């Protein structure tokens, strides 16, 4: 009788809770990437082109007693085309210069939650997406997204939201591997990364976010992000936001890549929102001293990790985060029709000096995103533009002309095309 009762209870749990209200989505995603930059030509790297077809299966259970739920996701990426002497492009698996498809169980995590009035608390355990979570991030623009093995907590109370996570492994967007973290030069094991953020949203127009996080005994980052929307006429508003980040090497930091001891990055942006359009300008500045080389603001946390900064200095083609570098950013975008967004942008980086030589870089481009109302869950994206920087030598430093008279210019064209369609199976 005890066994019968147990079977009855178990069946009730799955039929009326986890399975009874579950749903499964199928996503088909076609992605093409092109990068013709000659920045690494001294290493024999030429044009890079990759094209892949991806398939995602995302399953989410129902909530048992409104407390427990499970998420799982499987990703498969098939190679359609790739350049010879392949360098990865973060789309297909790079197997010693040969492009390969892959598949993996990308997400599998348990969720628990508690809610009461304007208070909410949720905890996730397992392989999960940590998208702009504290100082960690994932990307979704490739065939498969990244994922983290972590314990995370997310709680809200009125205008406050607090999040925290501890993670021990990471799975890259272009690989089936589940990898631990290592230092950049010494290849020493890093036990964990801990991160968190606190966001205050007193009203919908205003947000203040404090972030902090670091890898064990290796690298610590702290920062603040502020944004505000100033409406002053019908369908017209001024948009403002700013960020500041501070990086500091800890006891195991080698100081051999990025910066020697510490680095700072600041970014501010002003935009004008008018009806269906938006136009704006941004400016950034970076400090990242590196002994014996040109430093930059390193935003990851060791090998097999992915950090981020909420700054336009993280450009589409170049990263404008070198020591001393200042950047001007311009953008404009407009909703041409329901679901159709088009825009242009440009970045210009200056004030960089390496061994007495002044360096500068820039890029510009255009993009369009379309989600047709007639076909639900279909999204098309196209972005394209040239970029200009400096070539890198075998030490990953700027390649200078003879006798320090200028530098060797790098140039190329970059683009991304994606077609994504999501279908609910049940």
Quickly tell me which residue has 């680095």 as its tokens: 263
From residue 343, how far is each of 27, 36, 332, 384 by CA, in Å?
26, 22, 5, 11
Q: What is the pLDDT of residues 237-295, one digit of tens each?
A: 999 999 999 999 999 999 988 999 999 999 999 999 999 999 999 999 999 999 999 99
- Half-sphere exposure in the Cβ direction for 348 (13 Å, CA): 4
Looking at residue 43, what is its pLDDT?
79
Cα–Cα distance, 222 to 196 (Å, whole number): 10
Q: What letters, b where the CB count within 10 A reaches 16 and e where it falls short, cover 98-108?
A: ebbbbebebbb
* Phi, psi (degrees; rounded to nearest 5) at 4: -65, -40
pLDDT at residue number 41: 82
Q: Which residues contact 402 (CB under 8 A, 6 or more apart)?
A: none
pLDDT one-digit tens code per residue, 332-348: 999 999 999 999 999 99
Question: What are the tens digits of pLDDT across the range 30-48?
Answer: 999 999 988 888 877 888 8
**Range 97-102, long-range pairs (CB < 8 A, 24+ positions):** 99/50, 101/52, 101/76, 101/77, 102/76, 102/77, 102/144, 102/174, 102/175, 102/176
Residue 126, both tokens: 């397992």
Under 8 Å between Cβ of 74 and 104: yes
Name which residue leads in pLDDT, 90 or 237: 237
Listed residue (214, 411, 190) closest to 303, CA to CA:
190
Binned at pLDDT 50, 70 and 90, residue 95 comes out as: confident
Average pLDDT of span 49-63: 96
Task: Give the integer Cα–Cα distance in Å for 401 and 53.
Answer: 42
Q: From the CB of residue 62, how many other CB atoms can be counted at a distance below 10 Å?
A: 18
Report whether pLDDT(13) > 70.
no
Please report the pLDDT score of residue 9 as a whole number. 37
- CA–CA separation, 186 and 172 (whole Å): 21
3-state secondary structure 61-103: CCCECCCEEEEEEEEEEEEEEECCCCCCCCCCEEECCEEECEE
DSSP β-ladder status, 262-274 and 189-190: unpaired
Query: Who's near 1: CB < 8 A, 6+ residues apart?
Result: none
């Amino acid at each position: 009788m005890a066994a019968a009762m147990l079977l009855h209870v178990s069946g009730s749990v799955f039929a009326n809770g986890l399975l009874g209200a579950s749903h499964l989505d199928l996503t088909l995603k076609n992605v093409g990437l092109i990068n013709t930059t000659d920045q690494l030509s001294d290493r024999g790297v030429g044009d890079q082109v990759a094209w892949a077809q991806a398939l995602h299966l995302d399953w989410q259970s129902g909530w048992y007693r409104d407390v427990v739920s499970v998420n799982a996701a499987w990703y498969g990426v098939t190679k359609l085309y790739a350049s010879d002497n392949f360098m990865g492009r973060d789309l297909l698996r790079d197997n010693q210069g040969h492009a390969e498809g892959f598949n993996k169980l990308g997400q599998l995590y348990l969720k628990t939650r508690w809610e009461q009035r304007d208070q909410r608390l949720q905890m996730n355990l397992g392989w999960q997406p940590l998208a702009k979570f504290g100082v960690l991030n994932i990307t979704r623009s490739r065939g498969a997204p990244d994922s983290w093995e972590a314990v995370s907590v997310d709680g809200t109370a009125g205008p406050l939201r607090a999040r925290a996570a501890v993670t021990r492994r990471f799975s890259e967007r272009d690989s089936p591997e589940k990898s631990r973290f290592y230092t950049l030069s010494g290849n020493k094991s890093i036990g964990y990364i801990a991160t968190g953020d606190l966001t205050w949203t007193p009203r919908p127009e205003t947000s203040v976010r404090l972030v902090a996080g670091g890898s064990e005994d290796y690298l610590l980052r702290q920062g603040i992000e502020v944004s505000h929307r100033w409406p002053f006429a019908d369908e017209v508003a001024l948009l403002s936001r700013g960020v500041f980040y501070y990086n500091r090497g800890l006891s195991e930091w080698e100081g051999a890549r990025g910066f020697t001891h510490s680095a700072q990055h600041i970014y501010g942006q002003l935009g004008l929102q008018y009806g269906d359009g938006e136009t704006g300008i941004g400016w950034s500045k970076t400090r990242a001293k590196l002994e014996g080389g040109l430093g930059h603001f390193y935003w990851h946390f060791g090998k097999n990790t992915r950090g981020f900064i909420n700054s336009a200095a993280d450009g589409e083609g170049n990263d404008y985060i070198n020591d001393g570098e200042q950047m001007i950013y311009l953008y404009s975008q407009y909703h041409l029709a329901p679901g159709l967004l088009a825009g242009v942008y440009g970045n210009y980086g200056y004030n960089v000096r390496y061994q007495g030589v002044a360096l500068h870089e820039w890029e510009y481009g255009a993009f369009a995103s379309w989600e047709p109302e007639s076909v639900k869950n279909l999204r098309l994206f196209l972005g394209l533009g040239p970029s200009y920087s400096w070539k890198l030598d075998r030490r990953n430093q700027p390649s200078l002309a003879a006798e320090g008279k200028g530098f060797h210019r790098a140039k190329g064209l970059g683009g991304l095309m994606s077609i994504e369609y999501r279908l609910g199976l049940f």
